[in-house]
């Protein structure tokens, strides 16, 4: 199944990937693409957290959704899809809503934490905890109202531009004396379109999800 990947990265690096323990928070437009990329690149020890259900408006961008699973729990559909790709995947799902009060109960004993959620308080709390507990964290910034995936990159929070989520987090970091240069993110420098309604294409969130997984994969290979 992974013969071509092993030829690319080598047996030792593939074994490293298989031994890593990953926590993915959120399996929506960004997170579902992250999960798919992780599973197709040999990760087998994955825990996912999401409390939402599939809505018909999710179908245009979320890889775990289709016209027949509207109303189902996203966590169940994500596990199902991962197992279809690799039946040996040791994927666990937590059907919970993370918040500032319970987050410390669920982030222990992971080699990498990938944040693809939409909750600002959780995103900042993860940054705080990563600084105090020294775990590896990569976070997705905003992907709505954008159309150009080539404007996305893996960067640090201090270098983000035209990203409303990143702007709020930068201020929170300044106010709490956290060095934004140490916060790794996937962010776009594209200006959001001036649209009042919720508006998202598959191109930007899916690409952001791939970049989140790419950060983890390349960090493992290069260290």
Taken in order of first residue, the domains within the chain and their CATH numbers are: 3-221 (3.40.50.720)
Mean pLDDT by groups of 10 residues along the chain of 223 residues: 98 98 98 98 98 97 98 98 98 96 95 97 98 95 97 98 97 98 98 93 98 98 94
Helix residue ranges per DSSP H, the chain = 3-9, 11-19, 29-40, 74-85, 120-133, 164-175, 203-221
CA separation for the pair 3, 113 (Å, rounded): 27
Residue 56 has a pLDDT of 97
Residue 49 has a pLDDT of 98
What's the pTM value of the predicted model, to 2 decimals?
0.97
Residue 174 has a pLDDT of 97
Residue 154 pairs in a beta bridge with 186
């Amino acid at each position: 199944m992974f013969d071509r990947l092993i030829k690319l990265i080598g047996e030792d690096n593939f074994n490293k990937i298989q031994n890593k323990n990953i926590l993915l928070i959120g399996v929506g437009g960004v997170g579902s693409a992250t999960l798919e990329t992780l599973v197709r690149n040999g990760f087998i020890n994955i825990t996912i957290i999401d409390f939402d259900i599939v809505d018909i408006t999710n179908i245009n961008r979320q890889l775990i959704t289709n016209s027949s699973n509207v109303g189902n729990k996203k966590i169940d559909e994500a596990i199902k899809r991962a197992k279809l790709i690799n039946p040996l995947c040791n994927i666990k799902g937590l059907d919970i809503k993370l918040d500032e009060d319970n987050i410390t109960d669920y982030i222990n004993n992971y080699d990498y934490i990938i944040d693809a959620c939409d909750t600002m308080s959780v995103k900042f709390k993860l940054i705080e905890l990563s600084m105090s507990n020294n775990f590896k964290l990569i976070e997705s910034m905003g992907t709505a109202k954008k159309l150009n995936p080539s404007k996305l990159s893996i960067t640090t929070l201090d270098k983000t531009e035209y990203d409303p989520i990143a702007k709020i987090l930068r201020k929170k970091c300044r106010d709490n004396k956290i060095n934004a240069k140490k916060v790794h993110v996937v962010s776009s420098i594209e200006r959001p379109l001036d649209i009042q309604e919720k508006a998202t294409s598959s191109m930007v969130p899916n690409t952001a999800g791939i970049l989140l997984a790419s950060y983890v994969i390349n960090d493992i290979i290069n260290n």
